[in-house]
Amino acid sequence: LPAHKISVADYVSGIANGDRALLARAITLVESSNPAHGRLAQQVLQELLPKTGNAVRLGITGVPGVGKSTTIDQLGMNLLAEGHLVAVLAIDPTSKRSGGSILGDKTRMSSLAQEKNAFIRPSPSSGTLGGVTRRTRETMALVEAAGFDVVIVETVGVGQSEVAVADMVDFFLVLLLSGGGDDLQGIKKGIIELADMIAINKADGDNIRRAESAAAEYKNALQIFTPHGATWFPPVLTVSGRDNRGLKELWAKVLDHRKKMTATGEFETRRQSQAVSWMRDMLEDRLMGALRANPSVAAELPKIEQSVRDGTLLPTLAVERIMTMMGI
Ligand code: GDP
């Protein structure tokens, strides 16, 4: 059966029983731009809602080459060995432009890709960041309902995608490299503020000492950003994804964070405000979709934009005109 011909009940019971084929097809529905598929996906999600929310949601960011896939592959294997079910999702709003999804590509995580208790899904490859974010959130709900108890969301340091990932996970990990010398140069201040932990990767061989000194620098930097008396002070670790070094400690920090934040109620508060963010993103996505789908807006928009460009129409008036066309 094609994905849109399967009943809601079949999706719900199949996914709840961990059926991977149905899970993959439900994700296809979530990613589809067809409104009928979207409605079906929403019904499935609504039914599965009570089964969601139980995973440890870990976000990982870092520039290309920092070792995200190597580290996720190894961390994922460690977690499988402990009996976890591991899903890896990705957010990469540039993947359409660059001609194919790079993040979350199965070939990048070759060990994990062969494991039946792992599920790897590349970034949805079309649309705005808001659209990609919404789809990834919904995919996260589906994999949780299917029993995955660790969900890793990977992103690359492009624009706002880190903020989007930080806003859907419990713990945001920033992977960095030691640059030698002035290590703080390379990192955007905003990213440090989002980080629940920094891990300096490739701390192996000749590089260990340099990684340690970079870690010391970042520790100082993080102290500036962490409010006095905070429940959590973001630790800085050195790891080697390649050599499986420091990853046990890394995971222990993730669990320690969860325990501490749960005790103070901050864990629940973060989840609650993320649910509201989800709603707002979706609303924005739907409103923009309705705007683009409106035939009179579609017909007038190029002319309106031209007038704004010419300086014959003020941007504020242009927006007013579009809102009127939408009946708002
Ligand atoms: P990504 O682009 O962030 O996913 O980075 P990759 O995981 O693809 O790694 C980029 C390159 O760095 C590859 O050649 C890896 O083999 C190498 N690499 C990744 N992790 C480590 C590590 O811990 N130590 C060393 N020495 N090399 C690593």
Q: Say what the pLDDT of residue 263 is.
A: 97
Task: Tell me which residue has its CA closest to atom 17 in ligand 1.
Answer: 67
Per-residue pLDDT for 211 more than 90? yes
Per-residue pLDDT for 99 more than 50? no
Q: Say what the pLDDT of residue 328 is.
A: 83
Contact yes or no for 75/60 (Cβ under 8 A)? no
Q: Cα–Cα distance between 90 and 75 in angstroms, integer?
A: 16
Instruction: Tell me the one-letter amino acid at 178.
Output: S
Q: pLDDT, tens digit, for every residue of 69-80?
A: 999 999 999 999
Q: pLDDT, tens digit, for every residue of 268-299?
A: 999 999 999 888 888 887 888 888 889 999 99
Cα 155–chain centre separation: 6
Name the token pair of 309: 């460009």
CA 103 to ligand 1 center in whole angstroms: 14
CA 242 to ligand 1 center in whole angstroms: 7
Where does the pLDDT of residue 183 fall: very low under 50, low under 70, confident under 90, or very high at 90 and above?
A: low
Q: Say what the pLDDT of residue 181 is.
A: 47
Task: Tell me which residue has its CA closest to atom 7 in ligand 1.
Answer: 67
Atom of ligand 1 nearest to the CA of 207: 26
CA 244 to ligand 1 center in whole angstroms: 12
Q: Cα–Cα distance between 79 and 302 in angstroms, integer?
A: 52
- What does the angle CA 74 – CA 77 – CA 82 come to, to the nearest 5 degrees? 130
Q: Say what the pLDDT of residue 184 is.
A: 59
CA 40 to ligand 1 center in whole angstroms: 40
CA 70 to ligand 1 center in whole angstroms: 6
CA 149 to ligand 1 center in whole angstroms: 26
Atom of ligand 1 nearest to the CA of 241: 23
Q: List CB contacts of 172: < 8 A, sequence separation 6 or more.
A: 59, 61, 162, 165, 166, 194, 195, 196, 197
Q: List CB contacts of 272: < 8 A, sequence separation 6 or more.
A: none
* pTM for this prediction: 0.89
Residue 176 has phi, psi (to 5 degrees) of -135, 170
| Mean residue pLDDT across the chain | 89
Neighbours of 177 (CB within 10 A): 20
Q: Say what the pLDDT of residue 224 is.
A: 79
What percent helix, strand, coil does the chain show, rounded to 5? 55, 10, 30
This complex has an ipTM of 0.99
- Give the torsion through C-alpha atoms of 303, 129, 159, 305, to 10 deg: 0
Atom of ligand 1 nearest to the CA of 175: 3
Q: Cα–Cα distance between 95 and 99 in angstroms, integer?
A: 6
What percent of the chain is modeled with pLDDT above 90?
A: 66
Q: Say what the pLDDT of residue 249 is.
A: 98
CA 193 to ligand 1 center in whole angstroms: 25
Report the residue among 108, 242, 243, 247 best suited for mutation to probe ligand 1: largest number of ligand atoms under 8 A from its CB: 242
Residue whose C-alpha is closest to residue 87's, from 29, 169, 14, 161: 169
Per-residue pLDDT for 98 more than 80? no
Which residues, judged by CB distance below 6 Å to any ligand atom, belong to the binding site of ligand 1? 62, 64-70, 108, 201-202, 204, 240-242
- Give the torsion through C-alpha atoms of 104, 110, 112, 116, to 10 deg: 110
The alpha-carbon radius of gyration of the chain (Å, integer) is: 22
Atom of ligand 1 nearest to the CA of 103: 4
Per-residue pLDDT for 186 more than 60? no
